Structure 1
Amino acid sequence: MLCTLRRWLRGLEPRARVHLDRGWLASLRPWLERRELFRFQRQPLARGVAAGMFCGLIPGPLQIPGTLMVCAWLRGNIVAGGVATFYTNPLTTVPLYALAFYLGALVMPGEQTLPAWSSVAPGGDFSVQAMAAWIQALGTPLLVGLPTLGALLAALGYATVQLLWLAPALQRKRRLARCRRAAA
């Protein structure tokens, strides 16, 4: 299973490189030509996931372009970064923004209170306008909390990829140590 996944991921690199000759990507080719951006190894994957986790909190359509730029800057895997942005969706946005508000309130001086949903949405009905009004009511604590939460999630994503990548090697090391003790 793991070998099949690795083969499939390595097969993505040539297909992604074909798209570099098209349209507006051709002007970005010197940045995107770096092999690390498409390499499925531990460090580029970890950097890509970290970039995707950080940029996942950027509003809407700017997540993927932001992730592409951060991955190019950090030499992280673009595919992993793009996939990592999908942790934000309509179901997770409100809890993530509330968490960002609380993190911002912890960092900022003074008493900060989370505005109630009912204050922006009469009757408690969900709409895009009500969501925009609620986010605007969150104010400065949200602006401080979003980069803070993004940095925490990026560090967590980076560490998770590192641990998951190294887990088989650590298990193999323990197994070899057990075999040596049993043989001795």
Structure 2
Amino acid sequence: MLCTVRRWLRGLEPRARVYLERGWLSRYHPWMERRALFRFQRQPLARGVAAGMFCGLIPGPLQIPGTLLVCAWLRGNIVAGGAATFYTNPLTTVPLYVLAFYLGALVMPGEQVLPAWGSVAPGGDLSVQALGAWMQALGTPLLVGLPTLGLLLAALGYATVQLLWLAPALQRKRRLARSR
């Protein structure tokens, strides 16, 4: 199955190049080519996933633009980067922020206590304003924990792509070693 995914990804590259050579994107094609933004190879894909995992923790509509900038800086694949940001959604944001708070509390000196939801939303109502107030109450541990969590997720994403890409080669090597 991994070989099939790799072949499918490699087949995307020529199609992406055709789209880049048309229209208003054609004048940016040399710059994008130098930056490897649409290369579906192991290193650009791994860098793109790492950028997307890191930038996925950026609030709201700035995730994709942030990922595009980081991919251009790291020479990562922007398709993989953009897709990797979708691990954050309304269902996962609160648990990720709680995890980031605890990571920040681990790094910071002193005891940090997670504020209760009822302290910021007296009626226990779930609203955008209550969520914003709760995130502000998380304070410095959240500000320290978000980049820490982002770096951990980026490292995990990078390593996962590297391992998945190299898995078929490692399996072939083991089979050859067993057959000898």
Q: In structure 1, how many angstroms separate the alpha carbons of the residues matched to 2:179 and 2:129?
A: 64
User: How many residues get paired?
Assistant: 177
Alignment TM-score, normalising by the size of structure 1: 0.88
CA deviation string 1:30-64 (max 9, x = no partner): 64343611011110000000000000000000000
Alignment of 1:5-154 (within 5 A): 5-6=8-9, 8-14=11-17, 16-18=19-21, 21=24, 31-34=31-34, 36-154=36-154
Q: Is the 8 A contact 2:10 2:41 kept in 1?
A: no
Q: Who is 2:172 aligned against?
A: 172
Q: Secondary structure at the match of 1:89?
A: coil
Uncovered stretches (5+) of structure 2, i.e. residues with no partner: none
Residues 97, 142 of structure 1: 8 Å contact kept: yes
Task: Please report the TM-score for the alignment, with normalisation by the length of structure 2.
Answer: 0.89
Question: Judging changes above 3 Å, is the alpha-carbon distance between structure 1 residues 107 and 168 closer, same or farther for their aligned structure 2 residues?
Answer: same
| Root-mean-square deviation (Å) | 2.1
CA–CA distance in structure 2, aligned partners of residues 152 and 140 of structure 1:
19
Distance 2:10 2:151 in 1: 32
The answer as to whether partners of 2:35 and 2:72 remain within 8 angstroms in 1 is no
The DSSP-based 3-state class of the residue aligned with 1:152 is: helix
Letter paired with 1:13? A
Matches of 2:19 and 2:111, distance apart in 1: 49
Q: C-alpha distance in 2, partners of 1:141/1:61?
A: 23
Say whether the 8 Å CA contact 1:57–1:150 is kept in structure 2.
yes
SS of the residue corresponding to residue 62 of structure 2 reads helix
Match of 2:156 in 1: 156
Q: Runs in 1 of length 4+ with deviation above 4 angstroms?
A: 28-31
**2-structure distance, mates of 1:20, 1:159:** 36
Q: Name structure 1 gaps, 5 residues minimum.
A: none
